[in-house]
Amino acid sequence: MQRDDKVYKCLNFVQDFIYPPVCVLCGQRGQRPYNLCRSCLSELPRNESCCRHCGIPLPTAGLECGPCSRRPPPYVRAVIPFRYAPPMDHLLQRLKFNHRLELAPLLGGLMAEAVQEVAGTLPELLLPVPLSPARIGERGYNQALELARIVSSRLATPLDWQHCQRVRHTVAQTSLKRDERQSNLRGAFAVRGELPSHVAIIDDVVTTGATVSEFAKTLRQAGVREVEVWACARAGRG
């Protein structure tokens, strides 16, 4: 064991003694590195059987969903470790709408673990899905960027939030029917400057996939060869 590791372990021990981590779901003692207990962690809705391309939950693992087999999405793969179901949906809503930014290390950390579990070369850059300036003004922060900061530091992969922008303030996707969602987003993103050939889009929740698909399409048009999508949770088809 390195000397630095010993010092780190010792500091953690002291910190646990003075400020023991508390599980954000049940209030019992949490388990480092997260403020979640072992039992609540094991009960999170894992997205184990899902489309190998877009990550949508499926009854059987390793297959491709109908839409992906008819027309592959503009990204190579999606790494989405959880389903958008209780209690993960509550955690993500608290992060997104209730300023509970202390949940980002937990949720971003779980995303980074999921990426480490799947084989493959890490991308050269992480790109959180940009929010419009109006939405940032309303909310005060971009939850995708907060998650991306954690994933970036856990995987030692750089992050960029300045070269991609949301240039059109779109109507909230949830208020639209499925076929209206893609047209609502057309031309919503813009890229400035040069990007590397392999990047990962970071988002909190993928619902229909319309937002990440439009962003991936914009990145491909800007010359990115390989786009991945990393999100915390995936909704099923509603």
Q: Of 21-29, 82-90, 138-146, 196-204, which segment contacts Zn ion by CB under 5 A? A: 21-29
Q: Of 20-28, 91-99, 126-134, 212-220, which segment contacts Zn ion by CB under 5 A? A: 20-28
- Give yes or no for residue 51 binding Zn ion (CB under 5 A): yes
Q: What is residue 147's three-state secondary structure?
A: helix
Amino acid type, 169: H
- Give yes or no for residue 112 binding Zn ion (CB under 5 A): no
Binding to Zn ion (CB under 5 A): which residues in 67-96? Answer: 68
Q: Of 35-43, 85-93, 200-208, 214-222, which segment contacts Zn ion by CB under 5 A? A: 35-43
CB of 224 to Zn ion, least distance (A): 20
Q: Give the number of C-alpha atoms closer than 13 A to the C-alpha of residue 165, restricted to the C-beta side.
A: 10
Calculate the CA 66 to chain-centre distance.
23
CA gap 87, 106 in Å, rounded? 13
Q: Give strand ranges (E) for 57-197.
A: 77-79, 82-83, 125-128, 164-166, 189-191
User: Of 23 and 210, which CB lies nearer to Zn ion in the complex structure?
Assistant: 23
The one among 35, 44, 53, 145 contacting Zn ion by CB under 5 A: 53
Q: Of 59-67, 106-114, 133-141, 179-187, which segment contacts Zn ion by CB under 5 A? A: 59-67
User: Of 54 and 216, which CB lies nearer to Zn ion in the complex structure?
Assistant: 54
In a 10 Å sphere around its CB, with 0-12 CB exposed, 13-18 middle and 19+ buried, how is residue 130 labelled? buried
DSSP 8-state secondary structure symbol assigned to residue 48: -
Q: How many residues does the chain have?
A: 238
DSSP 8-state secondary structure symbol assigned to residue 29: B
The one among 26, 63, 122, 136 contacting Zn ion by CB under 5 A: 26
- Give yes or no for residue 201 binding Zn ion (CB under 5 A): no
CB of 38 to Zn ion, least distance (A): 8
Q: Give strand ranges (E) for 116-237.
A: 125-128, 164-166, 189-191, 198-206, 226-234
Using CB under 5 A, list all residues that contact Zn ion. Answer: 23, 25-26, 28, 37, 40, 51, 53-54, 65, 68
